């Protein structure tokens, strides 16, 4: 017996934001809290949403103090705004960080402090019992796919470490994929976030769990990235490419409920210790991680999965060579120069980075098992 989960209502395409506001009005919420960050406020994306809400006379408050890695203090502040302004619903607007903060705020609006007691690693999800206000998610990047996620990553006040909060009811009621919100992203961010979506699909498809729906979604997501990321990078104003990349990102995050792999475990310490963009870290590790898998003694199903992805690359014009070489070429074609060393990573730090990667929860679902020496070898190959 197997259990499957499938996500939320997704509105996608030009006009999705306006349609979302129509639907929100029909829900007759008293007041909605928008959780976002200062960058989105400054670049005018927040105003695109608030002007539509004003037009439709939907009452809202704004909490724009989410930090790039949201903290417990951010969550407390946002929760206070929710309560003081008597909100009854939440919109998360932004990349992964406002989405994380909004989900944690959703918990804290109806549950007792402190947030730390709901830590998923300590079984805290069992304490999330009260009906929570509805959450709507509007991504402004195409990479994390956090709008179809059910967990929040928040820096703990006590330990300073990233803590995960998970509950099925944290899934947004609606995700709004409007390409007009991502046209302002510069090419290097478009490339890095797009490769993140690609690696979500690839690692999910390669992970050994039984989840045929996730496999299908992952393959389609890979095809979308191969077909549309080049255009989104070269021509940021192309709304078709922007829309396809938003969809691919949602598909990646949907697929990776099956599991991720060693590339993500290796990428995480590069962000927490070296402050590297998560998508860029994945891009720099992709070819070395795939080469490690291709060198292993694989069974027939594993070989079939590699061939399947090679055929998608072939259809996109990357016709020959091992999968790792095609991945390397694709990343370079997206304008990302290879080599961790060129991005500030020092060889002397690789061992401690590998030790941290070993503690990461993603690699146990890698296509083949990995140990400390394997993780270190992939860092070295990617240096």
Closer of 78 and 96 to Zn ion (Cβ): 96
Q: Using CA atoms, how far apart are residues 76 and 152, in angstroms rounded to an integer?
A: 14
Pairing mode, if any, of strands 60-63 and 89-94?
A: unpaired
Closer of 96 and 230 to Zn ion (Cβ): 96
Q: Using CA atoms, how far apart are residues 333 and 104, in angstroms rounded to an integer?
A: 38
Q: Using CA atoms, how far apart are residues 140 and 74, in angstroms rounded to an integer?
A: 20
Number of other residues whose CB lies within 10 A of the CB of residue 254: 25
Which region among 61-69, 97-105, 188-196, 343-351 touches Zn ion (by CB under 5 A)?
188-196
Closer of 41 and 200 to Zn ion (Cβ): 200
Which region among 115-123, 129-137, 189-197, 295-303 touches Zn ion (by CB under 5 A)?
189-197
**Measured CA distances, 253 to 148, 214, 246, 365, 374 (Å):** 7, 10, 11, 15, 26
> By CB under 5 A, what part of segment 340-359 binds Zn ion?
none
Closer of 34 and 345 to Zn ion (Cβ): 345
* Under 8 Å between Cβ of 261 and 241: no
Which region among 1-9, 133-141, 193-201, 230-238 touches Zn ion (by CB under 5 A)?
193-201
CB 193, min distance to Zn ion, A: 9
Q: Using CA atoms, how far apart are residues 194 and 197, in angstroms rounded to an integer?
A: 5
Q: Using CA atoms, how far apart are residues 22 and 58, in angstroms rounded to an integer?
A: 10
CB 282, min distance to Zn ion, A: 6
Closer of 196 and 215 to Zn ion (Cβ): 196
Closer of 109 and 182 to Zn ion (Cβ): 182
Question: How many residues make up the chain in this entry?
Answer: 383
CB 278, min distance to Zn ion, A: 6
Pairing mode, if any, of strands 162-166 and 151-155?
A: antiparallel
The alpha-carbon radius of gyration of the chain (Å, integer) is: 20
Give the count of residues interacting with Zn ion (CB under 5 A).
Answer: 1
CB 326, min distance to Zn ion, A: 20
Which region among 192-200, 313-321, 345-353, 375-383 touches Zn ion (by CB under 5 A)?
192-200
Q: Considering the rule CB under 5 A, would residue 223 count as an interface residue with Zn ion?
A: no
Residue 112, classified by CB atoms within 10 Å of its CB into exposed (0-12), middle (13-18) or buried (19+), is exposed
* Under 8 Å between Cβ of 338 and 287: yes
CB 199, min distance to Zn ion, A: 6
Edge-to-edge strands, sheet with 174-177: 9-12, 174-177, 135-139, 89-94, 32-35, 60-63
Q: Considering the rule CB under 5 A, would residue 196 count as an interface residue with Zn ion?
A: yes
Which region among 22-30, 195-203, 235-243, 337-345 touches Zn ion (by CB under 5 A)?
195-203
Q: Using CA atoms, how far apart are residues 302 and 296, in angstroms rounded to an integer?
A: 10
Which region among 94-102, 128-136, 191-199, 334-342 touches Zn ion (by CB under 5 A)?
191-199
CB 252, min distance to Zn ion, A: 8
Closer of 128 and 266 to Zn ion (Cβ): 266
Q: Using CA atoms, how far apart are residues 267 and 375, in angstroms rounded to an integer?
A: 11
Smallest CA-to-CA distance from 251 within 190, 307, 198, 317 is with: 198
Which region among 196-204, 298-306, 309-317, 320-328 touches Zn ion (by CB under 5 A)?
196-204
Closer of 196 and 223 to Zn ion (Cβ): 196
Closer of 82 and 198 to Zn ion (Cβ): 198
Closer of 36 and 144 to Zn ion (Cβ): 144
Closest residue to Zn ion, based on beta-carbon distance? 196
CB 194, min distance to Zn ion, A: 11
Task: Kindly write out the interface string for residues 248-277 of this chain, putting x where it contacts Zn ion by CB under 5 A and - elsewhere.
Answer: ------------------------------
Q: Which residues bind Zn ion (CB under 5 A)?
A: 196
């Amino acid at each position: 017996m197997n259990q499957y989960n499938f996500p939320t209502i997704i509105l996608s395409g030009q006009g999705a934001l306006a349609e979302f506001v129509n639907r929100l009005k029909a829900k007759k919420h008293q007041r909605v809290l928008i959780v976002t960050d200062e960058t989105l406020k400054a670049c005018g994306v927040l105003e695109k949403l608030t002007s539509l809400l004003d037009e439709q006379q939907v009452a809202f408050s704004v909490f724009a103090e989410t930090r790039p890695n949201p903290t417990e203090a951010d969550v407390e502040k946002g929760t206070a705004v929710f309560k003081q302004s008597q909100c009854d619903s939440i919109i998360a607007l932004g990349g992964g960080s406002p989405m994380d903060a909004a989900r944690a705020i959703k918990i804290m609006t109806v549950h007792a402090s402190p947030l730390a007691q709901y830590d998923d690693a300590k079984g805290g999800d069992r304490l999330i019992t009260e009906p929570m206000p509805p959450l709507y998610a509007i991504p402004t990047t195409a990479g994390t796919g956090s709008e179809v996620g059910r967990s929040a990553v928040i820096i703990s006040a006590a330990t300073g470490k990233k803590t995960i909060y998970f509950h099925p009811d944290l899934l947004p009621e609606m995700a709004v994929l409007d390409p007009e919100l991502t046209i302002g992203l510069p090419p290097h961010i478009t490339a890095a976030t797009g490769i993140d979506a690609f690696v979500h699909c690839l690692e999910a498809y390669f992970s050994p769990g039984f989840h045929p729906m996730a496999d299908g979604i992952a393959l389609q997501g890979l095809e979308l990235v191969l077909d549309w990321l080049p255009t989104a990078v070269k021509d940021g104003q192309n709304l078709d490419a922007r829309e396809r990349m938003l969809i691919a990102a949602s598909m990646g995050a949907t697929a990776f409920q099956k599991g991720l792999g060693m590339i993500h475990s290796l990428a995480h310490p590069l962000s927490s210790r070296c402050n590297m963009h998560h998508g860029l870290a994945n891009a720099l590790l992709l070819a070395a991680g795939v080469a490690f898998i291709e060198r292993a003694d694989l069974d027939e199903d594993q070989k079939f999965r590699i061939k399947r992805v090679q055929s998608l690359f072939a259809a996109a014009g990357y016709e020959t060579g091992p999968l790792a070489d095609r991945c390397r070429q694709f990343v370079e074609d997206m304008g990302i120069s290879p080599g961790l060393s060129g991005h500030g990573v020092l060889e002397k730090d690789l061992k401690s980075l590998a030790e941290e990667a070993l503690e990461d929860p993603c690699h146990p679902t890698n296509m083949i098992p990995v140990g400390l020496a394997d993780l270190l070898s992939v860092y070295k190959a990617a240096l």
